[in-house]
Amino acid sequence: MKRPLGSTGLEVSPLGFGCYRVDEHSPAQKEALLAALDRGVNLIDTSTNYTDGSSERLVGQVLAERGREGLVVVSKIGYVQGSNLRLARQRKLQGKSFPEVVEYSPGCWHCIHPEFLEDQLQRSLERLGLERLDVCLLHNPEYFLMEAAHRGQDVKDEFYRRLQASFAYLESQVAAGRISCYGVSSNTVADPPSDPESTSLPRMLEQAGEGFRVLQLPMNLIESEGAMARHHGGKSVLELAGEANLGVLINRPLNAFKGRSLLRLADPPELGAGPESLSELLERLRSLESPDTLQMAGELERVAASPLSYSDWAEVEQNQLWPYTLDTLDRLADRMERSWRESYLEAFHAVLLEIRRLSARISQSRNQVLHEKLPARPGASLSQKALRTVLGTPGVTTALVGMRQQRYVEDACPVMEWEPPPDPLAVYRSLATQEQ
């Protein structure tokens, strides 16, 4: 089942445990990681910025309890967020800024300068409880290109000068024994070279030394450019990586971006039919509202008129509607009776649940088309079929899955034992035709 990770000498599982949004304070997430390891997953992918270092600390706890024998740990450096952003701002005020910081947005800076890499590598090793990191990746270095593109500047030559300096530092850390190898995780490496934000694997290889052995990029059923786009002399990024004997890690195998929408390549839960209609539930919510309280019924009615996919709705519900509503209710606490608050929350939740049912039906309808396009596998879920296609794609070593819950582990891990589909590239071509 294990696969060689390029020329690293490491053997890794077809699925890796992706630690984005994994937190040391979540016992369920720790149990999910342990369950994945028990099922044969041996590659763990994290980053210095995931949950502000808490992700690495959770991995460190698991490594301390289980030992690291047979496990491959990947971490990434580049983002300046959370506590790192506070540190960078403090250093800037003191006149000791990290060099070459990209101030991309107020809450997200970026840096791949050796001075920052040294600071972050030390912190990463401490959080993980390791003396040596198996794979260290520069995390989306294209932020420098993205920020310059907003200003209409062509900075590709400067970008590769900076990249070469970063690679030289990482080569020194390979020699020092602090990392075994390094590479790049880039979201734009499969984009056309003419795109001002795209990164180029051939130019990376020109700048790098012997320690450059791993590439990470996004790919899934919808975003298949890594396998299908042939921007380099008729070759895809995966083909170029194969020729260079690089290990290839795929992120977002189940989360596809189409325009501004996130398409979750997984079957939504079966929610069944609710006891009341959406119009009845909205009317009950509206009856509890007044100009002095909350007025959410009208907004929810507009949302329901142009329903979202299940994954998009979950994002809006969790990150916008609930925080806003609970915050407003807290501010109204002194003026409104507790019984009204409880009644309002009950009616509000009932409306959200009914819209969730509606969005699930929309996603089920869309997913049925995908199911029919994918090679048959009796009883397989959409996520399993999607993973099977990615894992069977020539040039892919490991697909990283955010298995933060036990049920995600149980859904994903069996795919590691399955035979690949006969022609994954034909699947991508079929789906691309459908999208056009």
pLDDT of residue 435: 55
Is residue 264 in some structural domain? no
For 291, the token pair is 């100009």
Is residue 269 in some structural domain? no
CA distance 109 to 146: 12
Extended strands (E) in 95-252: 102-105, 108-110, 133-139, 179-185, 212-218, 247-251
**Mean pLDDT per 10-residue interval, the chain, length 436 residues:** 96 98 95 97 98 98 94 98 96 96 96 98 98 98 94 91 98 98 98 96 97 98 96 96 98 88 85 87 93 88 85 86 92 87 94 92 86 88 96 98 96 96 94 69
Q: Which residues contact 9 (CB under 8 A, 6 or more apart)?
A: none
Q: Which of 317, 351, 371 is the last residue of a domain?
A: 371
Half-sphere exposure of 284 (CA within 13 A, CB side): 17
How many structural domains is the chain composed of? 2
Q: Are 33 and 412 in contact (CB under 8 A)?
A: no
Task: Say yes or no: 86 and 158 in one domain.
Answer: yes
b/e for 80-90, b at 16 or more Cβ within 10 A?
Answer: bbbebbeebee
Instruction: List the one residue out of 129, 224, 117 whose CA is nearest residue 171.
Output: 117
**Residues making up the chain, counted from first to last:** 436
Is residue 273 in some structural domain? no
Is residue 271 in some structural domain? no
- pTM, full prediction: 0.90
Task: Say yes or no: 91 and 237 in one domain.
Answer: yes
Task: Say yes or no: 394 and 311 in one domain.
Answer: no
pLDDT of residue 139: 98
For 23, the token pair is 């937190």
Which structural domain range is residue 285 located in?
A: 278-371
Run of H or E including 240 = helix 237-243
What CATH number does the domain containing 60 carry? 3.20.20.100
Instruction: List the one residue out of 269, 203, 195 whose CA is nearest residue 225.
Output: 195
Is residue 301 in some structural domain? yes
pLDDT of residue 268: 87
pLDDT of residue 436: 46
Q: Which amino acid is at 298?
A: G
pLDDT of residue 363: 85
For 119, the token pair is 């600071």
* Number of other CB atoms surrounding residue 70 within 10 Å: 10
CA distance 436 to 433: 5
Chain centroid to Cα 166, Å, comes to 23
Is residue 272 in some structural domain? no
